[in-house]
Structure formats: structure tokens, C-alpha cells
Structure 1
Amino acid sequence: MTISPDSAAALIARLLKRRGVGRVFALCGGHIMPIWMRLDAEGIQIIDVRDERAAVHMAQAHAELTGELGVALVTAGPGMTNAITGIANAHVSRAPVLVMSGGNPRPQENRGGLQDMDHTQLVRSITRYARTVREPSLVLQELDEAISRAFGDGGEPGPVFIDFPVDTLRGLVPKALQLEEHLAPKPRAAMRPDPAEVEKAVELLWSARRVLVISGRGARGAGPELIGLLDRLGAVYLDTGESRGLVPDDHPSVVGAMRGAVMGDADVVLTVGRKLDFQLAYGSPAVFKDAKFVRISDTASELRDNRRGAAEILASPAETLRAIVALAGNRESAVDRQWASKLRAAHQERAAKLKQSMATAASGSDGRLHPNRVLSAVQEAIGHDAVVITDGGDFLSFARVGLSAPVMLDPGPFGCIGIGVPYGIAASLACPDKPVVVATGDGAFGFNAIEVDTAVRHKAPVLIVVANNGAWQIEVHDQTVTHGKVVGTKLQFADHAAMARAFGMHAERVETEEQLGPAIERALANRPALLDMVVTPEAVSSDAKTGLAWVPDLQPLAAWDEAERKWRGS
């Protein structure tokens, strides 16, 4: 049976094509087959995956890397429930993702049909917009609204969900109701800053002695403006996982290796599109002392969470940063340049020591590689123009500081380990001119390991580096130190390379330093590829040392928790 070009399914595909969607991540099923076939008819590439969670992860990575809408298509019932972790991760990360699903024909609803359930109620709390559309003529209108909501119109950006009974998808829409106003792309309006708040911000920033700028998700797209502000103001700068690469590592403002010191030393902190969440000690005075905050964001959740700003600007970050620099004009900043220079010098010294220690990191007493030695070899091979995905718990702690790239993605504030392989596949398809490397722990790799099949079938040129320490190592460390007993946290030193080869992927198991360089070189030349790096569990990561796995009561890190207790008792 062919699907009519005037069907609701055809209009869905046509709208996506008009909105610039060239790739949809999906897993097939009868309830969505009308959309599936019309996507193909429109020339939209379908990346068919092995699990719906991976489809949504891939859609999110595509959105994060391109700034475009990410689209996932999943079938009914268990297809939809499989997707929930991906939707929740996109929700917490505020990523513009459209998830579409299908359901039973309307005459069979609520009668015990195959895979029948209320998908929309299931995801309402983790989406910006969730609807079941039963009338074919309303499909364009609902999709138009959903996509606008995904990009933050009327509130926060984030995932949206639309569900269609399959007979709705097959239903015909009169040409008179196929309105151009719903099909046409919509420009995103920039939110202009309030001049009074801009004036406040300039006064605070240009009068301060020790200014710290911290960027987040909302600063994406404002890189040049951010650098312009840093250059004029002389402030120091910290990025976060959401904004790696906006400011180059060699910029004189970057002091990432001195994160703890500068957070406690700043007298004014400017957040640009960044929540004050657990990664920033919730902005607590226990850590940030008496600092005043200036907060800029185009969404409320990044503007007023945990700490209010002495100036708060709800507007486009790029527009706002331009306005601040313009209003400051030739005014001389009061920033203590000697303070900033000392921090930068200390950062560079610490970074150089880290680089040297990584390159010479000794293997464990078990003869297995140190994770830092692996990361040093990977960094040397890929240079500094790559896309890097870091994933895991313990290994993420090593990789977060051990790898550097203009573009980096990680599990994000949801801590959604397992994103590595799906993100890497989507990244390698979106950025085919750059090497894409996934650095993942063996535990995290297991969640979506089957997607190596997807990478092979779609020729996604990704390199997957698995740090195989045979354990959920950050929990092993916590159990050993805190409880004196290891329970249910050990894995096998499984041969992940053998598994990847079974799906036709170039894969090697690396166990010695002598094998490192040549294996990485071969893998980069034969992507998609996987390297199973056998590393020692004796290496203790910084997150393990700081008590992250212990989950202290007041703050995520033991040192911050202690500081919080002292501050609250003062």
C-alpha cells in the first residue's frame, strides 16, 4: 500500500524537509511505517538504530553540535518506553529534540490493542510539549507549535513529543488545509536586553577587581562575543561541559586548572547561559564567598536558580554581551591584571605538569595501562581539531581533564552515562570533516554497545576508545574506602574488540604501551573503529578522591560539603 502525498504522514515528512531536517534517527515499527516511508520519499536519511534510547541520544547530539532540530522516530509501546531515558537526558540538557511516535488506529484505542498505551501522559513531565494528534488536518499545526517550543518559544528549550494513531498518519488532508504558514521555516527572534540591566552589569563588571566569567549551554552561538568581552574586561574564564570549545584553551583568560581557587577568590561572577547547579556548588557562599553575581540567559532556569544576580538579564547572550561591551566603550576596567596573570600562569604550570605526568604515567602493579597514558596517546594522535565525546564515571573523570578539543560532549547534568557511542555516531555524521573520538569506560560502553552495528552499517567514521578496567571503578573505590567491602561492582575484563569485530568493525585489544601508538594510528585510518584499552583499576580518579560516589548530604564533593557545613554553622 502506497502512502498518499496528501496524507498526514507525507505532510510530516514535507514539513521536516522544509525545516532543514536531513537526517532522522529511528527504529522501525508498524505504527510509524507511514512516516518512515514518506521520510525516505522526501530524501531524508534514516539512521536506523538498535535501541530507541540511542535514537534519542543521537538526535540530541545532532542538535547540540549543529544548533538544528534533532529528530527521533520511535514505535509504540516498548519502543516509546525505551526512548524515555534519552528524552529525560535531552530535557535536563535543554536540547531541541523532536520525538515522534505512533499508536493504534483510533477504533482500536483503549481496547487492549497491540502495544497500546498513553504515550503522551508518560512523557509529559520530561518534555516541553507533548500531544497526541488524532485529526490529520491538525498535524502541520501541531508540529509547527512543537518545533517552536523545542527551541524555547514560550519558555525553556528542550525535547517535544508528538504521538499519532497510525490511521491518522494514513488520513488525507485537503489541499486547502496544507497551509504554507505551518510548513515554512520560522526565524528565531533575538531577545534584546533591558538597557537598565545592561547598565547595572557594566557598572558591576568594570568596577570589580576579580571578575570570573562562567559559560554554559546558553552561551553556544555567542563565542565571538564572549571572547570580545573577556578581551575588553580582562576577566578570567571557566568553561563547563556544556560550553567546551567556545573559548580556545590558549586564550589568556582560561584558568580551568585553577577552578577551585578562582571560584573562592572572585568578587564578581558573570554566568552566561549557565545554571548554578551541582557542578558549580549551587553558587553557594560557602564556595563563592562574598561574590556578587551577574547573570545572563535567554531562559529563566539559567537566570535565577540558587543565586539571584545583582544584575539579571533575560535576553540573547550574544546580543547582551555586545551591548555590555558597547556601553562600556573605552572605560578602563578595574580588574586586577596581576591577579589574572598569576592565575593564568598557575593554570599553565599545572596543565603542563598534567600533560607531562599523563605521558609518563606508569602502568599498575598488575601490568595494565594507566588511563592517563591512554589519553595522552589519543590526544597526541588526534591533535586539537577533533570532536571528543567523554562517557563513564571513573574514566570520565580522567578524560574530562586529559583530553582537549574545540568541541566536547559528555553525559551532562543528568549524568546519563551510556551516551558515548550514540553521540559519537551522530557527531561523526554531522561533522565528517573532523576526527570524532569517543572516550568511554567499559561500564558506560555496555549500555549502548550494540550500536557499533549502527556505526558499521551507516559508515559513521567514529573511533571508540574503551577504557576497560573490569569494574564500576568509582563505586569500587567508594565501597572499599567507606564500607570495607566490594559488592556487585566488578565486571569482567571482557574482550570488547572481539564483539566489535563480530559486527564488521575494525577493532583491536591494546594491553601494552608499545601497542598504543600503532593501534591508534590504524584505528584512525580504518574508522569506524574500536580500541579496547585494558587499563589498571589501581588508578584512582579525581572524582573518586573527592567523594563524588559517596554523595555527601549538602554538596556533591566532600571538600565543598565540609565548607558548606562550616558556613552554615557560622
Structure 2
Amino acid sequence: MTTPQISERSAAALVARFLKARGVDRVFALCGGHIMPMWMRLDAEGIRIIDVRDERAAVYMAHAHAELTGSLGVALVTAGPGVTNAMTGIANAFVARAQVLVLSGTPPRGQENRGALQDMVHTDFVRPITRYARTVREPDLLPGELAEALARAAGEGGEPGPVYLDIPVDTQRAEVTPAVQLPELFAPRPLRQIQPDPAEVAAAVELLWSAKRPLVISGRGAKGAGPALRRLLDATGALYLDTGESRGLVSDDHPGVVAAMRGSVMAEADLIVTVGRRLDFQLAYGSPAIFGDAKFLRIADCAAELRDNRRGAAEVFANVAATLEAMLALAAAGKRASATDRAWAQTVRAQHEARAAKLAASMARAEPGSDGLMHPNRLLAALRAALPEDAVVIADGGDFLSFARVGLPAATYLDPGSLGCIGVGTPFGVAAALACPGRTVVVATGDGAFGFNAMEIDTAARHRAPVLIVVANNGSWAIEVRDQQETHGRVVGTRLQFADHAAMARAFGLHGERVERAEDLDGAIRRALGALREGRPALLDVLVTPEAASSDAKSGLAWVPDLQALGAWDDAEKNWRAASRTN
């Protein structure tokens, strides 16, 4: 049997050269015959292949890499089940609007539609969850298709998000005509920035500088605008809420931050400024039932973050950083004084500080459950004390995510996002450890979420990704257990076992410890961080009580109310709608 050689003039070689020219230095992948030509040429070009244990993890890692570096994340998955396995990761990147390229292969063209191994029309599957999806059968079309795919991923002319290309394996082996390999297709290009319209900027300034109780809420689209956002808060005295998409842009010690007063400040504000943020379920869809008579100012560089659910009294469709800078310049030129009620802002900030301090103090002394197991907040308090300020924190899970989201501060933060895609923690952590050398990377995950991609600890070990995975092990899908107990009076299929995840970690070469007592936490965390400094990943399996009730478990997220995500919001929405019918 002769194995076809992969020429340096092949389509597979062109893919590798193209990615290298665009700055890609690593690809997250799982091998297979239908992608082997590209696999080998990537390696020949010096692009590092981070080989994973499941294709969805490859896409998760590409997603995290894109979020943390601001550059393209690339996943390479094989045909058939490789693509179907990857689809959850693609869907999560789609909802998160993450800049990801997914590459795959198909059977040779001569075997199409004949029942070949893994012969499926992948593009039909992935088209609804990608910004661009193509099968490239003609090798000479590949340079243009790659260039277009990357432009779509970055959001040039539309929403950013994942893109997909697959190439028949014989096309990968075929030669590409040198004449079509135009230099301009390979050259990196800065994303075209939409400049703000002066009239829209003037309307935004008038609205914000006139507001007495302005509240700024940031999201994905604000990521490149941190300095301008902070100056805007300073200039206006507006209060500020971040979300998981933008956490860390404004430090917790900024006087505008009022995260602990989220519910009340949303109701009190007379102007809501969304900065690159959708009004999704986490923000009550912008409903007047929650936000009252507040006006909205929407600022975004993509339509999905500009006019979903509520239109603004003023809207600016442009690069977010440029918009905020233009607003500041116009207000300064006009010597505009902000009308913000400083007494109101200071009162809310003081309430936030008091509530945050009370939470921090209570976490460290949280009582164990009747089963003798520690409260999850004891674990989070120990992590808070041990982690450096610049740590990269990834929170994952259902119930435990609710505790970690509130109890674990972070300058850089990732979580499952608005798709609720639990299981991202370990893959995100591996990618973060590789993308952020020298920084401490910790994954705080529930045991249920950890189980989705637990085998990726093998990837962490083989690639020496120094990530600390902390598993809060309560032996259950706790948020669902509580809902079943309280709503239905019995528990069905939501109990897990208190598996020894640390033993599993040690079997794969990680530093692994099982922690059963709160007094043993500090030493275990210290030893785990020591392993990271030696370049070795670590896992702590910490037994926590399933009896602890998180805010999400109490709020209604588990039982899914009809109109709003949270029970209190749902009641308010129903009352508001009922009142409109009687007036």
C-alpha cells in the first residue's frame, strides 16, 4: 500500500502557511484520517498542535484562547462524529460571539454520496451556529475562502463568531496553483472600525450627562474599551455593573462598582447604558417590569448588542472605544457637568461595600451541613486568600457557579456564558494556562460540570499546562436536587457519587489531593500552587455539602419560570402585564 505524500504545494500546506501568516501559533485538535494532511503540514510549519481527548474540548480551548488573547482560536476536528462532537463547542462560541475557526475534512470527492466512512454533509449541521460554513472542493479557491472565513469570524461587516470550513481529503493533497496564492490574502488585516456618527454621539452625551441616576452595564463588546470606560465612569459618576462577558474591565475598588446591589440599582436607575451588552435573560430582557421608567442608551459595534429587546432613546452603532472617547471629548469641549446625583451614587456604593464585606466575612465562617461537609463558601474563601490579584479564574457548574460568580473575585474571568454550557471549565483552563504563561490559572468547578470533560486533565498533563482545577464535590446535580425536593417532593436521577477525582488526577500525572476538612484547605491549596510553579497541573477534590443553597437555586433558574429567568422577575413581569390590561 502506498500512502500519498503531502506536498509543500498542497492545499493542506497552504492552510498551514495561511494560518501561520495570520499569527496562529497553536491549533487545538483531535486526529483523524480525513484531516491528516492538514495535521502533518501544521506540524511541518511549526504550529503547535494541542491534541485533546474530545472534539468539543478542542473548540472550547480555541474559544478560550480567542477570548484571552483577542486573536483567532483554531480547532481542527475530523469528519463525521468529529464534527458532531464539536457542535456543542461551536454553539457556545456562537452565542458568546467568539472568534473561532473550525477546520475539518470530508471523504475524497470520488467517494462522495456513496456511503464512504464518515460521509456527512457537515455544513448542513453547523450552518445555523456559525457565521460562515463552506465545503471547499476546488483547491484554487482555498486562499479566498480562508480569507473570507477569518474576516467573518472577526465580525467584519457583521457579528463576530465561529466559522467553519471543511475540505475533502483528496483536495487537501492536491496542489494549489501558485498564481492564485495572492499575497494580500495571506496578510494580516486590522479589523475595520466603524467610527461613531457625531450626531449620535451628541445625543448620547445629552442623555448620559443629563441623567440623575445613570447605570452602565458592560458586555462582550466593551472588552477593548476598558480605559475609556473607566474614564467615562469617572467623568459622569455613573454606577457600574459588569457581566461575565466583561468582568475585570473595571476593578472592584472603583467607586462606580455596585455589583452587590445589582437588583436594587437596576430598579432605581433612570438611565441604563449598555456598552456592548445584549439585554438577555441575565438582564431581564430590559423589561420595564424590572427597570421601571428608565431610558436606555445602547452603544455597540454589532447589531445583536444594540437593539435586542429594547431600543435606546439614543443608540450609537460604532466601535465602542471610539464612541466612548468621542463622548468624553464632546462633553469636555462643552465643559459639560454631569447631573448624576452623587449622594445617590455614594449611598449605593456604600451599601455595596457593606454587603460585599459582610459576604467576605461570612464566607470564611460558613457553617458545614448536617452531613459534616464544608460549605462551598469556605472553599471559595480559602481560594480568595491564596490567589494572586492577576489570577485567571474560570468558574464552571450549575449550583457551584452561582457561589463562585459572587465569591471569587477575578481580574480575568471566564465562565459557561449565556448558553449555560457547563463543562467548559477544564478545557478553558488548559487553554488559559497555555495562553497566559506566568499567571496563575484556576478552574473552580462543580463535580457535575467537571465530569463532562474530565479526561482533558490528560491533555493538561501531556502538554504541561499548569492549571489548578478545584472540584467542589457535592455528589449531586445540586441545583436540580433542590428543585426536585421542593417542587416535586422526590429526587430522581440527580444524585452522583462522591467520586475520588484526585485519585483520577494522580493516575494521569497531575498533583492531586482530596480535601475533606476545611482546616486542611490552606495547606492543600499551597501545595497545589507550588506544583503549578513547577509547571505541573494540579487538581484538588474538595468535599462540600449538597445542602448549601445557592442564590441561583433559590431564584428560579432551576424550575424555569414562564416569562423571566428569575422567580421574582417573573412575578414582576406578570404583574406589569396584568396592570396594562386593566388600565
TM-score range, shorter chain: over 0.9
Question: Counterpart in 2 of 1:242?
Answer: 245
Q: Partner amino acid for 1:266?
A: A
Whether the 8 Å CA contact 2:388–2:440 is kept in 1: the answer is no
1:564 lines up with 2:573 in the alignment:
yes
Q: Partner amino acid for 1:430?
A: A
Question: Counterpart in 2 of 1:544?
Answer: 553
2:405 to 383, 400, 405: 400
CA distance in 1, matches of 2:140, 2:442: 44
- What fraction of aligned residue pairs are identical, expressed as a percent? 71
CA distance in 2, matches of 1:513, 1:173: 62
Residue 494 of structure 2: SS of its match in structure 1? coil
State the Cα deviation string for residues 139-182 of structure 1 (Å, max 9, x = none). Answer: 11100000000011121100000010001101101211211111
Please state how far the C-alpha of 1:515 moved relative to its aligned partner.
1.1
Q: Partner amino acid for 1:23?
A: R
CA distance in 2, matches of 1:183, 1:325: 38
Whether the 8 Å CA contact 2:156–2:192 is kept in 1: the answer is no
Residue 140 of structure 1: SS of its match in structure 2? helix
Q: Partner amino acid for 2:150?
A: I
Paired residues for 1:63-462 under 5 Å:
63-329=66-332, 330-462=335-467
State the Cα deviation string for residues 309-357 of structure 1 (Å, max 9, x = none). Answer: 0111110000000001111112110000000000110000000000000
Residue 494 of structure 1: SS of its match in structure 2? coil
CA distance in 2, matches of 1:267, 1:514: 47
CA distance in 1, matches of 2:191, 2:41: 27
Question: Counterpart in 1 of 2:526?
Answer: 521
Residue 221 of structure 1: SS of its match in structure 2? helix
Q: Partner amino acid for 2:82?
A: G
Whether the 8 Å CA contact 2:28–2:52 is kept in 1: the answer is yes
Q: Partner amino acid for 1:538?
A: E
Residue 455 of structure 2: SS of its match in structure 1? helix
Residue 12 of structure 2: SS of its match in structure 1? helix
* Ranges in structure 2 where 5+ consecutive residues have no aligned partner: none
CA distance in 2, matches of 1:189, 1:164: 29
Please state how far the C-alpha of 1:285 moved relative to its aligned partner.
0.2
Question: Counterpart in 2 of 1:44?
Answer: 47
CA distance in 2, matches of 1:343, 1:431: 35
Question: Counterpart in 2 of 1:56?
Answer: 59
CA distance in 1, matches of 2:328, 2:292: 27
Q: Partner amino acid for 1:386?
A: A
RMSD: 0.7
Whether the 8 Å CA contact 2:399–2:552 is kept in 1: the answer is yes
Question: Counterpart in 2 of 1:471?
Answer: 476
Residue 553 of structure 1: SS of its match in structure 2? coil
CA distance in 2, matches of 1:538, 1:219: 38
Whether the 8 Å CA contact 2:104–2:166 is kept in 1: the answer is yes
State the Cα deviation string for residues 170-196 of structure 1 (Å, max 9, x = none). Answer: 110121121111111111121101111
Question: Counterpart in 2 of 1:484?
Answer: 489
Please state how far the C-alpha of 1:517 moved relative to its aligned partner.
0.4
Question: Counterpart in 1 of 2:6?
Answer: 3
Residue 259 of structure 1: SS of its match in structure 2? helix
CA distance in 2, matches of 1:84, 1:232: 44
Q: Compared with structure 1, are the counterparts of its residues 468 and 539 closer, same or farther at alpha carbon in structure 2 (3 Å cutoff)? A: same
Residue 444 of structure 1: SS of its match in structure 2? helix
1:493 to 482, 492, 498: 498
Q: Partner amino acid for 1:434?
A: R
Please state how far the C-alpha of 1:2 moved relative to its aligned partner.
3.5
Please state how far the C-alpha of 1:383 moved relative to its aligned partner.
2.7
CA distance in 2, matches of 1:272, 1:513: 41
State the Cα deviation string for residues 235-289 of structure 1 (Å, max 9, x = none). Answer: 0000000000000110010000000010000001100000000000000000000
TM-score normalized with structure 1 length: 0.99
Write out the 4+ residue segments of structure 1 that deviate beyond 3 Å after TM superposition: none
CA distance in 2, matches of 1:443, 1:304: 36
CA distance in 2, matches of 1:505, 1:110: 45
Residue 102 of structure 2: SS of its match in structure 1? strand
TM-score normalized with structure 2 length: 0.97
Q: Partner amino acid for 1:86?
A: G
Residue 516 of structure 1: SS of its match in structure 2? helix
Whether the 8 Å CA contact 2:395–2:415 is kept in 1: the answer is yes
Whether the 8 Å CA contact 2:75–2:100 is kept in 1: the answer is yes
Q: Partner amino acid for 1:435?
A: T
Residue 550 of structure 1: SS of its match in structure 2? coil
CA distance in 1, matches of 2:60, 2:518: 33
Please state how far the C-alpha of 1:474 moved relative to its aligned partner.
0.2
More displaced stretch, 157-166 vs 358-367: 358-367
Whether the 8 Å CA contact 2:441–2:467 is kept in 1: the answer is yes
More displaced stretch, 309-318 vs 172-181: 172-181
